[in-house]
């Protein structure tokens, strides 16, 4: 058997039983591809099931309001993708009477769909001979053919796209494209690949040269940025202050507790070690020391930013906990504080805001980090 036959045989025996593979409905394939752009399959599965339960078809998605769409997407990040899904669903209803378009150019014209996603939908949903090249495919092809061109140089990407297109067995794109991606996800992994279990290791140049982990080649390694940030839960009369991020900003349209970046460093060391004065900051449980990573300088900056952005003078803060979140080469520690406002202290915000009870958190779309804060309190 040739490489294609070996790979297809392996896929039919070993593919994961994913819900969008049951019937290959274009709508479900579309939703899954958008979710998987920056998310592992295991992470995406519960979100996919929740989404399909709320929006079982294009019509139900198009007719929903944006706040509900964002709430159902909550936790996946990259919220502009949820908005694009919503807008594209409306466009499909208007232009194609609710039937997802089959033509590649029509798919590509939908909001939020690029070359990769259009190819994925065309090949997986409609079995058209269109190539798709994601990180898994890049890794597999670079190893099989020992391609020493850096994959993070844009002009080199066309090498992989052309190669993948040439490999597709005519009329088998649906399964072949998925087989390449599945092989990269399950066998030809980034670290510790299972080469002896690989169905195509006989065709793999990197395996024969014992250089599998030398591929794929990258030109640039971006430095990780360490971030110290703080969020403040403002409570008054058993209600909590949240405000809505403007559309166009990162996580635009989502609601959150007031939050600020305090320090960003590219060095290996954590931010300073000066203690925060006990008169200004105390932990919820008391007597357990001060939150690691927070310095006197951080606290001064937090007070200054709260005054500037909210017109609020912060007094004593109760430390609630901290949340780790990583995004695009940033390693962030979000320190969560709480303060109870008394009297008639007013809060000024340039964003839409609301005071809500704990039950109200279920109605507002929050980022995954701020959903964790809501759970903390």
**DSSP secondary structure string for all residues of 21-82:** GTT--HHHHHHHHHHTTSS-HHHHHHHHHHHHHH--SHHHHHHS-HHHHHHHHTTS--THHH
**Residue 102 and residue 158 in one domain:** yes
**Residue 268 and residue 123 in one domain:** no
Question: Which residues form the domain of 193?
Answer: 3-214
Domain boundary among 195, 214, 233: 214
pLDDT tens figures, 216-262: 999 877 778 888 899 999 998 899 999 998 877 777 788 999 999 98
Q: Which of 28, 33, 74, 259 is catalytic?
A: 33
Q: Is the residue at 219 inside a domain?
A: no
pLDDT tens figures, 165-207: 999 999 999 999 999 999 999 999 999 999 999 999 999 999 9
Domain boundary among 168, 195, 214: 214
- Tell me whether residue 33 is one of the annotated catalytic residues: yes
Q: Residue 277 pLDDT more than 70?
A: no
Rounded to 5 degrees, φ, ψ at 97 are 55, 35
**Residue 165 and residue 283 in one domain:** no
Tell me the whole-structure pTM to 2 decimals.
0.72
Supply the pLDDT for residue 294: 61
Supply the pLDDT for residue 276: 35
Q: Residue 51 pLDDT more than 60?
A: yes
**Residue 73 and residue 102 in one domain:** yes
Q: What is the percent of the chain with per-residue pLDDT over 90, rounded to a whole number? A: 63
Q: Is the residue at 220 inside a domain?
A: no
Supply the pLDDT for residue 267: 52
**Residue 259 and residue 195 in one domain:** no
Domain boundary among 173, 192, 214: 214
**Residue 204 and residue 325 in one domain:** no
**Residue 180 and residue 232 in one domain:** no
Binned at pLDDT 50, 70 and 90, residue 289 comes out as very low
Contacts of 335 (CB under 8 A, 6+ apart): 228, 229, 230, 231, 291, 293, 294, 319, 322
Supply the pLDDT for residue 295: 65
**Residue 208 and residue 230 in one domain:** no
**Residue 306 and residue 157 in one domain:** no
């Amino acid at each position: 058997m040739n490489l294609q036959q070996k790979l297809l045989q392996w896929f039919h025996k070993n593919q994961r039983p994913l819900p969008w593979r049951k019937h290959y409905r274009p709508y479900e394939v579309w939703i899954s591809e958008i979710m998987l752009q920056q998310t592992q399959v295991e992470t995406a599965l519960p979100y996919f099931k929740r989404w399909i339960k709320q929006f079982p078809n294009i019509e139900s998605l198009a007719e929903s309001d944006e706040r509900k769409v964002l709430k159902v997407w909550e936790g996946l990040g990259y919220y502009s993708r949820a908005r694009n899904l919503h807008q594209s669903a409306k466009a499909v209803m208007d232009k194609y009477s609710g039937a997802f378009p089959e033509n590649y150019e029509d798919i590509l014209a939908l909001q939020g769909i690029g070359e990769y996603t259009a190819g994925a939908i065309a090949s997986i949903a409609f079995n058209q001979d269109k190539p798709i090249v994601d990180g898994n495919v890049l890794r597999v092809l670079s190893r099989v053919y020992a391609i020493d061109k850096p994959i993070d140089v844009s002009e080199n990407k066309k090498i992989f796209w052309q190669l993948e297109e040439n490999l597709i067995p005519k009329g088998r794109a649906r399964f072949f494209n998925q087989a390449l991606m599945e092989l990269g996800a399950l066998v030809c992994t980034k670290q510790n690949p299972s080469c002896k279990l690989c169905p195509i290791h006989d065709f793999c140049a990197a395996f024969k040269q014992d250089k599998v982990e030398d591929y794929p080649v990258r030109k640039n390694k971006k430095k990780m940025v360490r971030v110290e940030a703080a969020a403040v839960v403002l409570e008054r009369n058993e209600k909590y202050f949240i405000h809505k991020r403007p559309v166009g900003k990162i996580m635009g349209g989502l609601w959150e507790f007031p939050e600020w970046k305090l320090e960003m460093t590219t060095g290996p060391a954590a931010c300073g070690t000066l203690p925060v004065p006990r008169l200004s900051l105390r932990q919820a449980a008391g007597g357990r020391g001060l939150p690691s990573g927070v310095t006197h300088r951080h606290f001064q900056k937090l007070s200054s930013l709260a005054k500037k952005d909210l017109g609020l003078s912060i007094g004593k803060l109760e430390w609630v906990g901290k949340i780790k979140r990583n995004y695009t080469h940033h390693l962030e520690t979000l320190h969560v504080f709480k303060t109870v406002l008394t009297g008639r202290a007013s809060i000024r915000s340039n964003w839409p805001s609301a005071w809500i009870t704990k039950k109200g958190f279920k109605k507002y779309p929050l980022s995954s980090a701020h959903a964790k804060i809501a759970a903390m309190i």
